[in-house]
Every structure is written in structure tokens, then in C-alpha cells.
């Protein structure tokens, strides 16, 4: 390919060597170089890259390279302004570093006009009307998988790419399962046809030589297996965001194995997620110190505190429950249960992702099982999923959340309390 035919007229490698020292590199890593090559060879490039592989700074470098060409239009779109500000701030820093003269710099409207008549703009996919009619040479969509659907592209932005010959679109993101448009775009880019407009690549953490193994080991310990696979290995995980990898054989009649009320080898605890507008969920768990069984459960979407209290009293009588862990947001209910019904509850540890990780380990090791009497709790956990629209791991709040929260309150709080008592 001759220099005349290249999309980037400015040599990227030379530009990288002049980066500010704080950026910490003067040569592109494998993932970053693939981003450059992908845009040179394809009109639409889908870049699936792990955390901390330098995808955002590389996108900013490519934006700057295009802006250095006179009369160029570069646009960045992200799910919201908070996320899109990452590339914006990098580009601003690079413009200042290279002392480029500007005719207009509007932080509020997120637009920069350079003296060479090139323009850099920032948009949120949430503001659809602002996207219409924006002609551009280079379009960068950041955190593309978090945007719910591709209408922002097909309806608003794709037509604008026809204004300038040879314009390009770059989609950069970590994966978010297979039930979204970005996975379809990625598969489209895997076409071997050399004449295809679409290309795609997937780049896990190890493409960045600057990452330290101990950092990765720490992430592997603190994240769930599925989340680590998604964020660092770039796997389009098969569970489509499912938080707990439960299977039907996790649900059985465990009474035949001695998991019954009154067993001297078991400790019985419970978790309570009080619903006000939502359903109230109560789960009873048994443990032998190593394994956990969810032995019974109750959910009520309508009913007074008295209604729920009467159900809890029945469970207490059957299982002789040692501790009930309750949501710390339900303190008045906690007081009412204690004084009116003699149901004493303990505040739960509400560290959501830590609690989820604790239960995920138990599920993965076959140490969390469900009795048939807790089938409704089991089915809720089967449907409990990560929110694909958030950058940080966050579960979807829906009807499956109540049992999931109650179970996490019980097992994680009890586990943490037991660990602290051992170390003291």
C-alpha cells in the first residue's frame, strides 16, 4: 500500500515516539498495532480488547493523527459523556503536548476546531438528535457493547460516513456476551473475504507486555471466573451474562442425604431481603462448615410485615435457625421484627460483588446446592444476570434479585464472620 492510499497520512509509529513520558510507551503493543492495521485495511473495524491493553489511548492517538490532516472531521461516540470523556481527555492532553493551535476550544459542547480546519467532536449515544447529519472521516465508538442496540449507528451515523470517500468507523470494547449487536459485528468482521468492508480482532491481556503477572493474578483472584474471562481474556462467555453457572443437577432432594431439620452436624442460618415495592425473599441455608445447602425459601410480593413475620416464625420453628441476616436498609423492619415478634436479625454485609464472588466459588466447587423445597430460589439464581450496559460489574435489578440478595446476605456474611472469629 502506497502512502497515498493509506488512511492515516501521518506515520503512527513516529507519532507514538513523541508521546509524553507519562504515557509510558513509545511503541504500540500488539493490540494497538492491530487497531491501526485494522482501520487501514477495513472501513469498519471491531476491536475487542481486554482491560488495560491501551485501547483508549490508542484510539486517542489515531484521532490526533487524523486531526493533523487538514480539514478532517473526527467524532467519538460513547454510551454517555462520562465514558466518552476518557478519549476526549487524552486527545486534549495530546493537543496541548504537541502545542497545536486551536480556533475554538469548547469544553462544555465538547468540540475543538484546530487552525488547520480539522474538528474533533464528542457525543453521547444517549443524545440521539445530536448525532444526525454529522459528516466525518473517522468515527470512534468507545465501549460499544454497552450501548443497547445499533440504531444509533445504522440510522444516525452510518449514512454520515458516506459523505467522505474512504471514511472509517472503529468500534472498541470489551465483550458483553453474545446477545448484542457488537457480537454480530465481530462475527461479520471474521469473514475471510479480503474485499469485505468489515474486519475484527480479539486481544486478551497478554498482548500488553507492560502488564505484570502479579496484577493479573490478583485480578484472577478477585474476579469471578466468568468475569475474568470476559474482561481479561475477551471471551464472549457462553452464559450470556449469567452470574451463577448453575446446572439442573445442583437441584435435588437432599433429605435422603441427611440434610434435614434437627441434624446435629448442620448449622442453619437465613437471609432476608425485605421488599417494600418489590417482593420480600427469605432463604434458609444449612452448612456443615464446608458445603452449603439451600433447604427452603419463601417469597411474597404482597403482604404486611406481620404476614412475612408469621412465615419466618414457621421456618424458625422447623429449622431452629441460628442467625437471620437482613438488609441494612431495612432497619425499622429489623426493630419491628425484634420487638413485636421476637425475631432477631443481624445486619448483613452488603458488599455486592465480593458476596457474588464468594457464592460463585462455592458453585464452581460444587459446594452450593439446592433442595427441591428451594426450587424457586434456584430458578431465580439461574436467571440472575450481569447488566450489559454498565462498565463496572453490576447485576440487573429484577425479580431474580430478591432471592439472590437474600442468599448472599446469609452465606457471605456468615462466611466473613466465621473467618474473622478464627483470626482473632
Identify the residue with better confidence: 126 or 64.
64
What is the rounded distance in angstroms from the CA atom of residue 140 to the CA atom of residue 122?
10
Give the dihedral of Cα atoms 332, 335, 337, 342; nearest 10 deg.
180
Residue 311 is among the residues annotated as catalytic for this protein: no
pLDDT band at 223 (very low <50, low <70, confident <90, very high): confident
User: What is the distance between the alpha carbons of residues 182 and 193, in angstroms, rounded to a whole number?
Assistant: 20
* Tens-place pLDDT, residues 261-285: 989 899 999 999 998 778 999 999 9
**145 DSSP 8-state letter:** G
Give pLDDT, residue 423. Answer: 43
CB-based contacts of 241: which residues, under 8 Å, 6+ apart? 176, 177, 179, 385, 386, 387, 388
Distances (CA, A) of 420 to 104, 290, 407, 424: 58, 16, 20, 6
**Domain covering 3-211 in this structure, CATH number:** 3.40.50.300
Contact 259/371 with Cβ under 8 angstroms? yes
CA distances, 173 to each of 66, 89, 225, 358 (Å): 21, 18, 19, 27
Domain-wise residue ranges, the chain: 3-211, 248-423
* pTM score of the predicted model: 0.62
pLDDT at 419 over 90: no
How, if at all, do strands 267-273 and 111-114 pair?
unpaired
List pLDDT tens digits, range 94-146: 999 999 999 999 888 889 999 999 999 988 887 766 676 678 999 999 989 88
Determine the CATH number of domain 248-423: 3.30.420.280
Written as nine digits, the cell of 367 is 459446594
For 385, which DSSP code? Answer: B
C-alpha distances (whole Å) from 351 to each of 62, 76, 210, 358 are 39, 34, 31, 11
Are the C-beta atoms of 372 and 225 separated by less than 8 Å? no
Catalytic residue among 143, 151, 248, 392: 143
**pLDDT tens across 340-387, in order?**
999 999 999 988 989 999 999 999 889 999 999 999 999 999 889 888
Amino acid at each position: 500500500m502506497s502512502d497515498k492510499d493509506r488512511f492515516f497520512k501521518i506515520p503512527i509509529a513516529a507519532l507514538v515516539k513523541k508521546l509524553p513520558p507519562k504515557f509510558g510507551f513509545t511503541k504500540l503493543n500488539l493490540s494497538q498495532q492491530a487497531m491501526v492495521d485494522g482501520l487501514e485495511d477495513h472501513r469498519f473495524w471491531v476491536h475487542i480488547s481486554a482491560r488495560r491493553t491501551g485501547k483508549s489511548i490508542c484510539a486517542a492517538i489515531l484521532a490526533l493523527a487524523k486531526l493533523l490532516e487538514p480539514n478532517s472531521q473526527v467524532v467519538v461516540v460513547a454510551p454517555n459523556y462520562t465514558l466518552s470523556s476518557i478519549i476526549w481527555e487524552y486527545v486534549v492532553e495530546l493537543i496541548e503536548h504537541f502545542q497545536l493551535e486551536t480556533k475554538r476550544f469548547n469544553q462544555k459542547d465538547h468540540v475543538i476546531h484546530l487552525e488547520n480546519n480539522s474538528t474533533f467532536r464528542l457525543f453521547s449515544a444517549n443524545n440521539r438528535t445530536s448525532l444526525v447529519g454529522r459528516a466525518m472521516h473517522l468515527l470512534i465508538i468507545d465501549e460499544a457493547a454497552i450501548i443497547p442496540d445499533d440504531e444509533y449507528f445504522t440510522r444516525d451515523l452510518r449514512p454520515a460516513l458516506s459523505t467522505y470517500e474512504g471514511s472509517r468507523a472503529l468500534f472498541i470494547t470489551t465483550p458483553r456476551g453474545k446477545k448484542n449487536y457488537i457480537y454480530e459485528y465481530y462475527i461479520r468482521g471474521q469473514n475471510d473475504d479480503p474485499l469485505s468492508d468489515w474486519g475484527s480482532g480479539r486481544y486478551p491481556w497478554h498482548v500488553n507486555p507492560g502488564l505484570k503477572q502479579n496484577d493479573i493474578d490478583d485480578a484472577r483472584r478477585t474476579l469471578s471466573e466468568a468475569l475474568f474471562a470476559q474482561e481479561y481474556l475477551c471471551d464472549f462467555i457462553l452464559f450470556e451474562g449469567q452470574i451463577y453457572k448453575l446446572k439442573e443437577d445442583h437441584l435435588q432432594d437432599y433429605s435422603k442425604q441427611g440434610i434435614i431439620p434437627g441434624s446435629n452436624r448442620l448449622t442453619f442460618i437465613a437471609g432476608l431481603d425485605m421488599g417494600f415495592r418489590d417482593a420480600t425473599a427469605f432463604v434458609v441455608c444449612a452448612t456443615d462448615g464446608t458445603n452449603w445447602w439451600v433447604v427452603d425459601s419463601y417469597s411474597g410480593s404482597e403482604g404486611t410485615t406481620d404476614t412475612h413475620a408469621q412465615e419466618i416464625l414457621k421456618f424458625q420453628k422447623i429449622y431452629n435457625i441460628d442467625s437471620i441476616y437482613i438488609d441494612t436498609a431495612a432497619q425499622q423492619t429489623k426493630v419491628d421484627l425484634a420487638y413485636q415478634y421476637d425475631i432477631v436479625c443481624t445486619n448483613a454485609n452488603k458488599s455486592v460483588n465480593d458476596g457474588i464472588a464468594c457464592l460463585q466459588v462455592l458453585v464452581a466447587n460444587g459446594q452450593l446446592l439446592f433442595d427441591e423445597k428451594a426450587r424457586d430460589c434456584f430458578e431465580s439464581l439461574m436467571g440472575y444476570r450481569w447488566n450489559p450496559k454498565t462498565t463496572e460489574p453490576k447485576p440487573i435489578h429484577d425479580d431474580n434479585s430478591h432471592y439472590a440478595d437474600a442468599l448472599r446476605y446469609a452465606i457471605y456474611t456468615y462466611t466473613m464472620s466465621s473467618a474473622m472469629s478464627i483470626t482473632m
